[in-house]
Chains A and B, each alone.
Chain A
């Protein structure tokens, strides 16, 4: 039952961050120039009209009340209605979120599948040609912008080789299998850079683990190299690994906005772009809120895994 206690501890520890993050998201809307009421009613609305809209939105209440109302609604699944279309924002988000979630997960998978093995192998071959090749590659990899990589992948694998569909026309709801296929290139565009970063972190963590006294003890015991590297050294490197994977999640969510634009995917990133163009405050706020909750959840998972992976952390 250690796990329940650990999750409980981490949840409690996450509460202040949650309050702070949602406060920032909430204030963001107040800080964006322009009056939401004007944005809804139009430039030429009568004062009475504006007043009525403000009242409807609760904009004339004290800020703290507005925040409490908003957060209460948000956590019970009501993200408000879009100024532009009058639709439920929750419905809008739920329609777009699955695609982005899948894209981000696939990208994370790409990043880990690329970064973890290469990092572990490089650590065993420190200062050999292979290691230098990999570290140099990773250094360049980190510097590649998502959109450029995305376009290159489209040109080579979609347009020239035709292995994957080109940009646009993906619907997870109508054609899940096709969507999965169409998400391969975007996931690569989004995840490869993260893979380079994970590779570097894993390499340096593994180099350190492999030079410790306890690894020497394991060798003295006669454990196989495979067991020493992939079990003992890797588990001892899991804290830096969990940290970098956690960081990647926030990076991937940010990167999804760009990659969705490049590949014409209608996920939550492109929803944010559309909402910004239309000054649809409620939608922007909702998207940022969802992103913040995902990042906080990720941190929570990282935090819990720290405590489960390293018995010294209480």
Chain B
């Protein structure tokens, strides 16, 4: 049985006439221990998907539809209201911005220990011991001293490690990592990726790895899901998809990837931008930017199975050979 099953996830923002739909029937599954990449340019709906699953969208300005089951627990009911208290759901999230995601006026130790108390019902002594071992597990040297540090006393990479430790304190079966390495430099990025892979392997923890960087996906993930304008446009095993993308958008992202030879040179980019929620596009959502668009693309596209393991939202997928990368 899958660890996470999401069916027909829709998110609307706003009310009445100004209401817009940010997610359109997103389906996804994550198996135990699997690392799934969620990719797409900025504005594709990756963060909205993550926040919806975490129950972190503001109910005053958003509405959730669809069904999501994690580890046998329904995340919300038909009205989109939380069904299981958050601290009973084995899911945690690491955010993009390590500089602001930690509380500036409480120590690292305090923030870790309070998580352990809420999530695992530990008393102060047990929480302290576990907090030290978590800091050690995320590769922070001298955990005793770091417990007393305030976030502003740590570097960006260190703070992100602390964020990961806090997430681990929730004892998650699913970790959602929303562009956790975007705000740190390249060496730190590589270390954090290794850390997340290692933790996933050691703990059998599944990861939904959100990124706009296909390079990171190819290094880190087992399967990938490409999102565009609030829709899943392609999914499949990372190796297969990157070797031969099935959707022009995935292919475009791949072409925009800096290869070792072209590093420092200008990147090929996909002209245009992601249509924001509320923009009306007739037929295939990617058509205005698609170099392969034809008349037949004027109808709305459904996800179609390409192979047993691959799905793609493009009617011309079988006719066109998109350029992939060997890995």
The interface of chain A, by Cβ under 8 A from chain B, is 212-214, 216-224, 227, 232, 235-236, 238, 309-312
B60, chain A: closest CB distance, angstroms? 8
Expressed in whole angstroms, the minimum distance between the Cβ of A227 and any Cβ of chain B is 8
**CB-based contact B105/A222 at 8 Å:** no
> Could you say which residues of chain A place their CB within 8 Å of the CB of B56?
216, 219-220
C-alpha spacing A235/B105, complex, angstroms? 7
Q: In this assembly, does B312 line the interface, its C-beta being within 8 Å of a C-beta of chain A?
A: no
Asked if residues B150 and A222 are in contact (CB atoms below 8 Å), the reply is: no
Q: Which residue of B lies closest to A238 (CB)?
A: B105
- Whether the pair A217, B103 counts as a contact (CB closer than 8 A) is yes
Residues of A within 8 A of B272 (CB): none
Please state if B54 and A221 are interface contacts (CB–CB under 8 Å).
no
* B85 A216 Cβ-Cβ under 8 A: no
Asked if B103 and A222 sit within 8 Å, CB to CB, the answer is no
Chain B 80-113 residues near chain A, CB threshold 8 A: 85-87, 92-93, 95, 97, 100-106
B63 to chain A, nearest CB (A): 18
A222 touches which one: B102, B106, B118 (CB < 8 A)? B118
Is residue B201 within 8 Å, beta carbon to beta carbon, of the partner chain?
Answer: no
Centre residue among A213, A221, A310 by max chain B CB count within 10 A: A221
Residues of A within 8 A of B170 (CB): 221-222
Chain B's interface size range is 20 to 34
Residues of B within 8 A of A312 (CB): 104-105, 150, 152
CB atoms of A213 and B86 under 8 A apart: no
The reply to whether B103 and A218 form a contact with Cβ atoms under 8 Å apart is: yes
Most chain A beta-carbon contacts within 10 A, residue among B86, B101, B103, B106:
B103
Of the listed residues A216, A219, A222, A311, the one surrounded by the most CB atoms of chain B closer than 10 A to its CB is: A222
Is residue B114 within 8 Å, beta carbon to beta carbon, of the partner chain? yes
Do B100 and A222 have beta carbons less than 8 Å apart? no
| In the complex, B119 has a CB within 8 A of chain A | yes
Could you tell me the distance between the alpha carbons of A235 and B101 in the complex, rounded to whole angstroms?
A: 16
A235 to B104, CA, bound (A): 10
What is the CA–CA distance of A236 and B163 in the complex, to the nearest angstrom? 19
- Measured between beta carbons, the chain B residues less than 8 angstroms from A219 are 56, 86
Binding site for A on B (CB under 8 A): 54, 56, 85-87, 92-93, 95, 97, 100-106, 114-115, 118-119, 150, 152, 163, 166, 169-170
Closest A residue to B97 by beta carbon equals A213
| Set of chain B residues within 8 Å of A217, measured between Cβ atoms | 95, 101-103, 163, 166
Q: Is the CB of B100 within 8 A of A212?
A: yes
Q: Is the CB of B101 within 8 A of A214?
A: yes
- When distances are taken between beta carbons in the complex, the residues of chain A under 8 Å from B169 are 221
List 21 interface pairs A-B (beta carbons < 8 Å), by A numbering.
Answer: A213-B95, A213-B97, A214-B100, A214-B102, A217-B101, A217-B103, A219-B86, A220-B92, A220-B93, A221-B87, A221-B118, A222-B115, A222-B118, A222-B119, A222-B170, A224-B118, A232-B103, A235-B106, A238-B105, A310-B105, A312-B152
Centre residue among B93, B104, B105, B115 by max chain A CB count within 10 A: B105
Q: Look across to chain B and name the residue whose beta carbon is closest to the beta carbon of A127.
A: B60
- A235: which B residues are within 8 A, CB to CB? 105-106
Report the Cα distance A209→B234, complex, angstroms. 39
B103 surroundings in chain A (CB, below 8 A)? 214, 217-218, 232, 236
